[in-house]
Every structure is written in C-alpha cells, then in structure tokens.
Amino acid sequence: MKKVVKFGGSSLASAKQFEKVGDIIRADKSRRYAIPSAPGKRNAKDTKVTDMLYSCYGVAAKGKNFGKQLDEIKARYQEIIDGLGLTLSLADDFSVIQDNFAKKAGRDYAASRGEYLNGKIMAAYLGYEFVDAADVIRFDEDGNFLSDETDVLLREKLGNLECAVIPGFYGAKPDGGIATFSRGGSDITGSLVAKAVQADMYENWTDVSGFLIADPRIVKNPKSIETITYRELRELSYMGATVLHDEAIFPVRKAGIPINIRNTNAPEDKGTLIVEGTCRQPKYTITGIAGTDGFASVTIEKALMNSEVGFCRKVLEVFEENDISIEHMPSGIDTMTIFVHKDEFEEKEQKVLAGIHKVVDPDHIELESDLALIAIVGRGMRATRGTAGRIFSALAHANINVKMIDQGSSELNIIVGVRHDDFKNAIKALYDIFVETQL
Ligand code: ASP
C-alpha cells in the first residue's frame, strides 16, 4: 500500500497541529509521501503565512524596507520549530529569501516560500527526505503547468525514495524561476504526486470531515457525504461547494486513484471518499445540494422561433462577442432564456440587448436579476422515480416559486432557479425532504 497525504494550512498552522499530523502519518506506514501547505490561520483573526509573504513582497517590490514583515514570518516558523523541539535552523534559507526579495524575484517566488519552509520543517520532524518542488514540478516560461514533464520528473525522483516530503503549490519554469498554481494549489501537487507514484489512495487532510450534503451556513448540522463520484463532485463544486481545489481531481481521476478527504482534528472520522465509480448505493436519493447566488436571466420571445434555423446561434454569438459566459439555457417553443452571472452581465447589458435586437428581431426581451441556481445532485436519482416530483412539492410547500428547471442529460442532477430571497429556504426545504424526512 502506498498513500500520498496532503495537509492543508490549518493542519500545519502551529506546533500542536504539526504533532497531530505526525501522529496521523506515524499511525500508518503506507503514508509515505507528504505534501504540506504553508502554515494557515491559528485562529479566526490570524493571517495565513502565504498572505504575509504576498504583502511582505509587495513592500519589497516597491523598494521599501521589508525587514519588519520578514521578521514576523520568521517568527511564525520559529514558533513551530521551538514547539516541536527541533534543532533545525532556517537562517540560511531566510537570508537567501531576503536577497531574492530585494532582487524582486517575483510574487510567485515569494508565495512559494511558505510551502518550501514548511516542507523543510515537516521533513525534519518526520525524518523524511525533503524534495524541493522546483526540481520535480514543471511550468513553461509563461507559467502554464506542464503535466507530462512533471510526471516523468516525479516518477524518477520518488521512485528511489521510500518516504519524502514535497512542498505543495509551486514548481519551476525552464529558467529556474518559480511559478505557482492558483490559490489552494497544494491540493493539485498532492494529486500529481499520487498519480506519479501510482498511489493506492490520495488522502487530503483538512479541518472538516469531508463534504457535507448541504452548506452548514444554511442547514444546521448537515450530514456528511460518505462516498461521492468525481462527476457528482464536479457538479457540486461548480455550484459552490469548496473543500478541494477544482483542478485537483483530474490527475488522480485519470489514474483511477480515490481521494479521501479527512479531518486532522478528528482523525477517527472516515471523511468523504471520492471515487470514479461505485456500486455502493448512496444512503439518500441525493448525494448533495449546492447553490450559488448572483445570476441574471435574459428571456427572448419570438413567435415561431423554433422554426427559424440558426436563431440560437445568432443569440449566443452576441454573448460571445461581449465575452460573457453562459451558465444555462432552458428554452420553450417561442422563448429561450439565457442565464448569466449578474456581475459579468450588468455592465454590458445594453450592448447585449442591442445586439440581440439586431440579429434576431425578437418580439420581446425580458430581464430578471437576483436569481439563484440550486443543483440537486445524486447518482441515485437515475434509479429512483419521482425525484423531480419531490423537489417541486418540497419547494411548493415552502411557498417558493421555481423560475427555471434544468435536468442534466446524465440524470445526475436537477438544477432549479429561484429568486435570491428564496435561496436559503429552498435549500433547507430540499435538505429536509431528502435527508431529514425520507431516506
Ligand atoms: N498556501 C497556498 C494558499 O494559501 C496554497 C495552498 O495552501 O494550497 O493558497
């Protein structure tokens, strides 16, 4: 058995958290490759080291004295080293960092030092080999990630190492300069390592016990999801459920490696298992509910629209020309509705309307804003009759008007559009009908 374990910033924010991580790794010999994030927040008011590095570098880039900011960062690491009773010194690393900041080595370089230094501490603490991500994760000169080259480098390097710590979030460009993934990108590093070493499992340790069926800010104490497929997860993350970086699933998914989301503060919890496919029947008809606010809709009406060849294309081109992405597009016989993000649409609204008038000469256009979309997702839906019926009766009982319905062709999800004011009540009503009242 070979496991790759990634620990998020809150799992490594202090010596106490590091000790929990040490216990987790030592409890299972197959946890051989560890990917740390930079130290996160120790409490709600704290600042993540990555953010401290960005602002320290901001001062350096203006040519000002950044000594005070750098000292605060040094103190964060020293506190961890002292708390763990290690003899490790990061003095040499910090003097290199100081020089490179003064030479304006770039924001990505600055941010990456959070993971680099935490990786050094983690390797010393565990007695694992330290592998600098700059040696094994590759980007091109424009900062685009290079997956094939990375895979080869990781395989070569880790093939000879029984146990190693590889810092997350960054890699190197051909000229040796550092590039990072987007925020939260250590999840991607973990996934790449898991694929390269052909791990049996990619464990992603964070501060929650996996995915919850609904947003805990809306539903009180929602149940957690035990098993979810990659496809279901995509649907839910698109609608705003965030625990894992969006791009982290692709490398392991391709290799058929499951991801297990676990809680460093409650290691006995099983967390959520993310798999390609499963015969295990989900406990409830639905796997999860997620939603996002802030949509607007444009409804175009024209008699005999359905017999006019090219009507949709012409309308869609207007959105494309204005660089607006389309989220959903339900249609009727003489109407079509386009859902877009309100923020993206608002400033270009009049241009879009004029464009539509010009290309299709509609009878009427109606705009609506303050809409929310809710996705009800579940592989169990395909085998169950009456899911849609239950959704709509639950919403009707809660006095909620459904503005749009869209069932994905995979029968994996049903998306409903409701008014912003009904958003939270709709999620509560759906959770209630599928989880609380009926199995
Ligand atoms: N430290 C980086 C961030 O705060 C990357 C990560 O934690 O995954 O975004």
Ligand 1: does its nearest atom lie under 6 Å from the Cβ of 9?
yes
Query: What pLDDT sits at residue 198?
Result: 97
36 CB less than 6 Å from ligand 1?
Answer: no
Name the domain count of the chain: 2
Token duo for residue 388: 């849609």
Q: Given 175, 207, 239, which residue is the final one in a domain?
A: 207
What is the Å distance from ligand 1's center to 169 Cα?
6
**Looking at ligand 1, which atom is closest to the CA of residue 186?**
8
Domain with residue 113: its CATH number is 3.40.1160.10
Q: Out of 17, 46, 48, 205, give the residue to mutate to test ligand 1, the one with the largest number of ligand atoms within 8 Å of its CB.
A: 48
Tell me how far apart the alpha carbons of residues 360 and 312 are, in angstroms, rounded to a whole number: 9
Asked which of 129-133, 223-227, 409-413 is least confident by mean pLDDT, the reply is 409-413
pLDDT band at 269 (very low <50, low <70, confident <90, very high): very high
Give residues with Cβ within 8 angstroms of 289, minimum separation 6: 213, 214, 374, 375, 376, 377, 427, 430, 431, 434
Is there a contact between 30 and 3 (Cβ–Cβ < 8 Å)?
Answer: yes
What is the pLDDT at residue 140?
97
At residue 283 the predicted structure's pLDDT band, cuts being 50, 70 and 90, is confident
Residues 202 and 295 in one domain: no
Whether 212 is in a domain gets the answer no
Query: 66 CA to middle of ligand 1, Å?
Result: 22
Identify the pLDDT of residue 383: 77
Give the model confidence (pLDDT) of 80-99 as tens digits.
999 999 999 999 999 999 99
Q: What is the pLDDT of residue 411?
A: 76
**In this predicted model, what pLDDT tens digit does every residue of 290-302 receive, in sequence order?**
998 999 999 999 9
- Give the residue whose CA is nearest to atom 5 of ligand 1: 184
Residue 261 — φ and ψ, nearest 5°?
Answer: -85, 125
Query: Global pTM?
Result: 0.86
CA–centroid distance, residue 246 to ligand 1 (Å): 13
Does the CB atom of residue 186 touch ligand 1 within 6 A?
yes
Please indicate whether residue 169, judged by its CB atom, sits closer than 6 Å to ligand 1. yes
**Structural contact between residues 225 and 213, judged by C-beta atoms closer than 8 angstroms:** yes
Cα dist from 224 to 154, 203, 213, 269, 284, whole Å: 34, 17, 6, 10, 11
Which backbone phi and psi does 391 adopt, to 5 degrees?
-60, -50
**Residue 197 placed within a domain:** yes
Region 313-325: mean pLDDT is 95
* The pLDDT value given to residue 382: 79
Kindly report the average pLDDT of the chain as a whole number. Answer: 94
Distance CA 263, CA 204 (A): 8
Half-sphere exposure of 136 (CA within 13 A, CB side): 26
From the CB of 184, is ligand 1 less than 6 Å away? yes
Atom of ligand 1 nearest to the CA of 180: 5
User: Is 75 a member of any domain?
Assistant: yes
Q: Which of 12, 52, 115, 191 to mutate to test the pocket of ligand 1 (most atoms within 8 A of CB)?
A: 115
The distance of Cα 382 from the centroid of its chain, to the nearest Å, equals 26
What is the pLDDT averaged over residues 220-242? 85
pLDDT at 241 over 70: no
Span from the CA of 189 to the centroid of ligand 1 (angstroms)? 11
Contact between 9 and 37 (Cβ < 8 Å): yes
Share of the chain above pLDDT 90, in %: 82
- 408: domain CATH number? 3.30.2130.10
Q: Which range, 147-151, 326-330, 402-406, is most confident?
A: 147-151
Last residue of a domain, one of 207, 224, 241: 207
Distance between CA atoms of 411 and 387, rounded to whole angstroms?
Answer: 10
Provide mean pLDDT across the span 372-376: 93
Domain limit, last residue, from 189, 207, 225: 207
Q: Is the pLDDT of residue 181 over 90?
A: yes
Distance (Å, rounded) from C-alpha 11 to C-alpha 70? 23
Q: Which atom of ligand 1 is the closest one to the Cα of 168?
A: 8
